[in-house]
Amino acid sequence: MPGAFDPFVPSPADPWDARKAAHLLRRAGFGPLPEEVDRAVAAGLDRTVDALFAFPPDPPAPAVFDDVRGAEQQLDSTLEALRAAKQRIDLKTHPELRALYQEVGRQHGRAIVTLATWWLDRMATSPAPLQEKLVLFWHGHFTSAFGDVHDAVAMFNQNQLYRRSAAGNFARLLDGVARDPAMLRYLNNDANRKGHPNENWARELMELFTMGIGHYTETDVKESARAWTGWTLRDYRTAEDRRVFAFKLMIHDDGPKMFLGQAGPWDGTDVMRIILGQEATPRWIAGKLAAFFVGPAPDAGLVAAMAQQLRAANYELTPALKTMLRSRAFYRPDVMLAQVKGPVEFAVGAVRHLGINAPDWVRVYQAAGAMGQRLFFPPTVAGWHGGTSWINAGTIFARTDLAAGLISGRLGPVDDAAFPTLDAAVTRLLARPLPPHRRVTLAQATGGQPSREAVHLVMSLPEYMVA
C-alpha cells in the first residue's frame, strides 16, 4: 500500500490530465493559461515538476532606488557637515533638515510601491513562477513590514534574499534572515544589548520561524535573547550604515546560557544550530510549506516524510518540495480546488487570464490590499492567515471590483481573442466545467455570448475564487 507521500503514478483510470496539471500549475504559480496546462500534460508530471525548479539568475534592482539614494545622500551629507561643525542636530535649530527628512520618506514611500509592482510583474511574467510563489511564501513566513522598517531598499534586499534561497537551503536562509537589516529593525534585534535584552526576535524566531509554540519555555526565550545581543546594524549615521549587518562584541553578552537544555556561552549562531537540531524544526517548516501549497490540513504522513527529507538533506528544500508536488496526497480530489486563492494569487492570475501585458500594477497592488494582502505590509509578524480568512463580505467585493476594472480595459488592454466563446472563457478561467445550474443561469443571462459582462460574472463566481 503506497503512502500519501509516495509519487502519484498515473493509470488509465486515474491519468495525468489537464485537471491535475492545472492544479499543479495553480499551486506552484499564478493563474496558469490553457496552453501552459497543455504543455504540462504533454510533458508528464516528473518533467513538469523538474522544470518548475529551473530558476533564473537574480534580477537587478528597480531603477527607482537611485532616487532614494540621491535623497539619502543629500540628507546624510548635510548631517555629516553639521556633525563636523559640532552642531546639535535638531529640527528646531535646523528646520532645513525637515524637508530633507521628508524627501527621504517620500522617496521610500514611492520606492516600496514600485518594488511591489515590480514583484507583481515578475509573478505574472517570470519563466519560473514557483520561485516567485516561494518568495511570497517566505515573505509571509519570515515577515517584515515596511511600516516598521521604513526602508524600501532594505525590503528589496530581503526580497532578493528570499528569491535567492527560495528553494535552496533553509539553514542558510535562516542565517541570512538573522543578519538581514530589515529583519533586525522589524523585530528590534538591533536594540538588543548586553544587560538590556530585547526579546522580540528571539521569541518570534522560535514561535513563528522555526519550531512553533509548545517546544520551548519562557526561559529559553530569555536565554536566546541574551545570545542574540550584539547582532545589530553597522551604525545609524547614514542610510547605508543602517543597511549593513554587524556583530558587536562590546554589547554582546558572552556569559553562559542554558538554551533548550544545552549549556554554553552561546551566541546567535549557536542558537540557530541548536534550533536546527530540534525535531520540532523540520516538522514546523514542512508543515508550513504543506499548509501553503497543499491545504490548511495537509496529510500528516506527507508532512512527516517532508520533515524527514529536510533533516536527511541538511535542510535542502528542493527535495522535500519535489516530494510534495509529486505526492499522491497532492493530487487527492479533496485537495484540488479546495483552497481559497490568496489576494495576490487572485489578482496576478486575473491579469494573466485576461491577457493584459504590463497593466497598471499600482492599481492591482492597491486592489490586492483591499482584498486583504498588501505586499510588504503583512498585518502582523505571523503574516497572513490565509484560507477562508481571506473571504468575507468585504473582501469578496474587492475581488469582483478588480475583475470589473481589469475587464473594462482601464488598467491595460484585454486580449479579447482569448475569449472566442463562452465555453472557452469558462475553460480558460476555471479549468473545469461549471455545475449545471450555474451553466444554465449563465447562458440565460448572457445569451451564450462571451461578453465582458459574461467574463466578469464567471470571474465573480465562487468557482473562480478557489485554487
For residues 290 and 302, is the Cβ–Cβ distance under 8 A? yes
- The residue whose grid cell reads 509592482 is 117
Whose Cβ is closer to other proteins: residue 77's or residue 389's?
A: 389
CA–CA separation, 332 vs 297, rounded Å?
13
Identify the residue among 15, 105, 394, 448 touching other proteins (CB under 8 A): 394
Write phi, then psi, for 415 (nearest 5 degrees).
Answer: -85, 90
Minimum CB separation of residue 395 from other proteins in Å reads: 6
Which range, of 30-38, 97-105, 401-409, 417-425, touches other proteins by CB under 8 A? 401-409
Which range, of 2-10, 17-25, 347-355, 431-439, touches other proteins by CB under 8 A? 431-439
Identify the residue among 208, 280, 347, 422 touching other proteins (CB under 8 A): 208
Identify the residue among 379, 413, 420, 448 touching other proteins (CB under 8 A): 379
Closest CA to 163 of 110, 225, 119: 119
Decide: is 372 part of the binding site for other proteins (CB under 8 A): yes
Whose Cβ is closer to other proteins: residue 101's or residue 397's?
A: 397
Whose Cβ is closer to other proteins: residue 82's or residue 340's?
A: 340
Question: In the structure grid, which three cell numbers stand for residue 178, read together?
Answer: 538573522
Decide: is 199 part of the binding site for other proteins (CB under 8 A): yes
Minimum CB separation of residue 168 from other proteins in Å reads: 28
By DSSP bridging, strand 231-233 and strand 245-247 are: antiparallel
DSSP collapsed to 3 states, 426-458:
HHHHHCCCCCHHHHHHHHHHHCCCCCHHHHHHH
CA dihedral 295, 299, 300, 302 (to 10 degrees): -100
Write phi, then psi, for 264 (nearest 5 degrees).
Answer: 170, 170
Identify the residue among 178, 407, 411, 425 touching other proteins (CB under 8 A): 407
Identify the residue among 87, 93, 392, 421 touching other proteins (CB under 8 A): 392
Q: Cβ–Cβ contacts within 10 Å for residue 372, how many?
A: 21
Whose Cβ is closer to other proteins: residue 216's or residue 315's?
A: 216
Decide: is 397 part of the binding site for other proteins (CB under 8 A): yes
Binding-site size for other proteins (CB under 8 A) equals: 57
Per-residue contact track with other proteins, 325 to 354, x per CB under 8 A? ------------xxxx--------------
Identify the residue among 87, 314, 357, 441 touching other proteins (CB under 8 A): 441
Long-range CB contacts (< 8 A, 24+ apart) of 210-215?
Answer: 210/174, 210/275, 210/276, 210/278, 210/280, 210/281, 210/284, 210/285, 211/275, 211/278, 211/280, 211/281, 211/284, 212/280, 212/284, 212/287, 215/278, 215/280
Identify the residue among 240, 316, 360, 453 touching other proteins (CB under 8 A): 453
CA–CA separation, 208 vs 199, rounded Å?
14
Identify the residue among 160, 396, 412, 423 touching other proteins (CB under 8 A): 396
Decide: is 108 part of the binding site for other proteins (CB under 8 A): no
For residues 65 and 152, is the Cβ–Cβ distance under 8 A? yes
Minimum CB separation of residue 281 from other proteins in Å reads: 18
Q: What does the binding site for other proteins look like in residue numbers (CB under 8 A)?
A: 188, 191, 193, 195-200, 203, 207-208, 213, 218, 337-340, 370-372, 379-382, 388-389, 391-398, 400-401, 404, 407-408, 435, 437-438, 441-442, 445-446, 452-453, 456-457, 460-463, 465-466
